[in-house]
Structure 1
Amino acid sequence: MQRFERRLKFFVLALLLLPATYFGVGYLKCKSPLDYDIYVSGADVSGDYFTEEEDINEFKVTDALETLEARSSSRKAIFFIETSRRGTINPRQMCAIESAAKNNPFSDVYLLLLDPPVNSSLMNNEQLKFVVRFYKNLKIVQTTSESYFAGTALQTLGRNGKIGQSNYPVEHMSDVMRILTILRFGGIYFDLDVMILRSLETLAENWVSFETEDACSSSAFGFQKGQKLAQKMAVELNRNFDGDEWGNNGPGLFTRMLKRECEISAKSKTSEKCPDITVLPPSVFHSIEYLSWQLFFDRTALSQVYSKVKDSLGVHLWNHFSHEGVVIIGSNQPYGYFAQKHCPRAYWSCNQIF
Structure 2
Amino acid sequence: MSKGFKIFTLLLLLVACGLFYKNSNIQPSSPFKSIISPGSTASISNNKNSSFSPITPMDVLKKGNGIIFVETTDRMKPPSLVLCAVESAARVYKDRPVVFFMKGLPDINIMEDELKARKNFPTLSTFDNVYFFPLKIEKIFNDTPLMPWYKKVIPKFETYWTHVSSDGCRLALVWKHGGIYMDSDIISMRPIPDVNFLAAQSSQFSSNGIFGLTDHHIFSWKSMESFVQNYNGAIWGHQGPQLFTRILNQFCSIPPFKSTEDVKCGNISFLNPQRFYPIPYQAWGRYYDVWENVPTFNDSYALHLWNYMNQGKKIMVPGSNTLIEHLYKQYCPTLYGALERNESIYG
Q: TM-score range by the shorter chain?
A: 0.7 to 0.9
Q: CA deviation at 1:344?
A: 1.2
1:214 aligns with 2:214: no
Matches within 5 A, 1:5-44: none
Q: Is the 8 A contact 1:132 1:139 kept in 2?
A: no
Q: Is the 8 A contact 1:302 1:333 kept in 2?
A: no
State which of 271, 276, 294 in structure 2 corresponds to 1:280. 271
Q: What is the CA–CA distance in structure 2 between the aligned matches of 1:164 and 1:148, rounded to whole Å? A: 20
Q: How large is the RMSD of aligned CA atoms in angstroms?
A: 3.0
Q: What is the CA–CA distance in structure 2 between the aligned matches of 1:331 and 1:57, rounded to whole Å? A: 31
1:144 aligns with 2:141: no
1:347 aligns with 2:336: yes
Give ranges in structure 1 of 5+ residues lacking alignment: 1-54
Instruction: Name the structure 2 match of 1:42.
Output: none
Q: What is the CA–CA distance in structure 1 between the aligned matches of 2:100 and 2:130, rounded to whole Å? A: 8
Paired amino acid for 1:237: F
Q: What is the CA–CA distance in structure 2 between the aligned matches of 1:59 and 1:89, rounded to whole Å? A: 23
After TM superposition, the score normalised by the length of structure 2 is: 0.75
Q: What is the CA–CA distance in structure 2 between the aligned matches of 1:316 and 1:172, rounded to whole Å? A: 19
Distance 1:275 1:125, change over 3 A: closer
Q: Which has the larger radius of gyration?
A: 2
Q: Is the 8 A contact 2:195 2:212 kept in 1?
A: yes
1:83 aligns with 2:72: yes
How far does the alpha carbon of each residue in 1:20-51 deviate from its partner, in whole angstroms, 9 at most, with x for none?
xxxxxxxxxxxxxxxxxxxxxxxxxxxxxxxx
Instruction: Name the structure 2 match of 1:335.
Output: 324
Q: What is the CA–CA distance in structure 2 between the aligned matches of 1:147 and 1:260, rounded to whole Å? A: 29
Q: What is the CA–CA distance in structure 2 between the aligned matches of 1:125 and 1:67, rounded to whole Å? A: 14
How far does the alpha carbon of each residue in 1:136-167 deviate from its partner, in whole angstroms, 9 at most, with x for none?
01111113222222232211122212555320
Matches within 5 A, 1:128-207: 128-200=120-192, 202=193, 204-207=194-197
Q: Is the 8 A contact 1:217 1:254 kept in 2?
A: yes
Paired amino acid for 2:39: N
Paired amino acid for 1:188: I
Distance 1:345 1:82, change over 3 A: same
Matches within 5 A, 1:287-326: 287-299=278-290, 301=291, 303=293, 306-307=295-296, 309-322=297-310, 323-326=312-315
How far does the alpha carbon of each residue in 1:274-315 deviate from its partner, in whole angstroms, 9 at most, with x for none?
42101100010111101111111111x2525x14x2331100
Instruction: Name the structure 2 match of 1:244.
Output: 234
Seq. identity, %? 24
DSSP 3-state at the match of 1:131: coil
DSSP 3-state at the match of 2:267: coil
Distance 1:141 1:302, change over 3 A: farther
Q: What is the CA–CA distance in structure 2 between the aligned matches of 1:66 and 1:127, rounded to whole Å? A: 17
Q: CA deviation at 1:115?
A: 5.4
Q: Is the 8 A contact 1:127 1:346 kept in 2?
A: no
1:230 aligns with 2:212: no
Q: What is the CA–CA distance in structure 2 between the aligned matches of 1:126 and 1:115, rounded to whole Å? A: 14
Distance 1:244 1:279, change over 3 A: same
Instruction: Name the structure 1 match of 2:40.
Output: 58
Q: Which has the higher contact order (CA 8 A, sep 6+)?
A: 1
Q: What is the CA–CA distance in structure 2 between the aligned matches of 1:71 and 1:247, rounded to whole Å? A: 30
Q: Is the 8 A contact 1:77 1:109 kept in 2?
A: yes
Q: What is the CA–CA distance in structure 2 between the aligned matches of 1:56 and 1:147, rounded to whole Å? A: 24
Distance 1:127 1:95, change over 3 A: farther
1:263 aligns with 2:241: no
Q: Is the 8 A contact 1:191 1:220 kept in 2?
A: yes
Q: What is the CA–CA distance in structure 2 between the aligned matches of 1:332 and 1:295, rounded to whole Å? A: 12
Paired amino acid for 2:300: S
How far does the alpha carbon of each residue in 1:316-349 deviate from its partner, in whole angstroms, 9 at most, with x for none?
0000112311322122101010111111122222
Q: CA deviation at 1:92?
A: 1.3
Paired amino acid for 2:71: E
Q: Is the 8 A contact 1:186 1:225 kept in 2?
A: yes
Paired amino acid for 2:210: A
Q: CA deviation at 1:56?
A: 6.9
Q: What is the CA–CA distance in structure 2 between the aligned matches of 1:337 and 1:70, rounded to whole Å? A: 36
Q: Is the 8 A contact 1:269 1:279 kept in 2?
A: yes
